[in-house]
Amino acid sequence: MGAVSNLLDSKGGEVLTVKPDQTVEAAIQEMEKISAGTSVVADNGEILGIVSERDVIRKVVLQGKNVADVLVQDIMSSKLTTISPDTSLDECMQLMTEKRIRHLPVLHDGSLCGIISIGDVVKYLIVEKDFKIRNLETYISGAM
């Protein structure tokens, strides 16, 4: 099973970040530009939390608040579970399942170097397994 670093090599390490004092509306607009469902909340290089479309629905829309009036810091999740590039994908899946989370920011020496989602992990594992199956099929057909 691969490590997070392998997944980031194929996916890339770009991460959308928003500031805690931005309005939720501004954050959603930035997320929409790149079709992201989540953004890391950071200020001056310090990671403060994570905000998702789900947070917006539950903590703003369903409570009848206006996205232009609510700040990101008021709805973000500040209890972050982070991983390193050396974390195995098995560990990532276990963390995501146990904590019921869908995104894991990746930190290297305290700096944000990527973010992975459960979809990223599943996609990577499927590609990896397909590659192994093709290699085995080639080996078997060549051995006969």
* Domain topology for 4-143: CBS-domain (3.10.580)
> How large is the average pLDDT for residues 117-121?
91
Give the phi and the psi of residue 31 in degrees, each rounded to 5.
Answer: -65, -40
Among residues 4, 25, 29, the alpha carbon closest in space to that of 104 is found at 4
For the question of whether the overall pTM of this predicted structure is more than 0.85, the answer is no
Q: How confident is the model at residue 124 (pLDDT cuts 50, 70, 90)?
A: confident
Sequence spans of domains, the chain: 4-143
pLDDT digits (tens, 9 = 90+) for 69-95: 999 999 999 999 999 999 999 999 999
Q: Distance between CA 33 and CA 12 in Å, rounded?
A: 17
56 or 45: which leads in pLDDT:
56
Indicate the range of 91-95, 120-124, 131-135 predicted with least confidence. Answer: 131-135
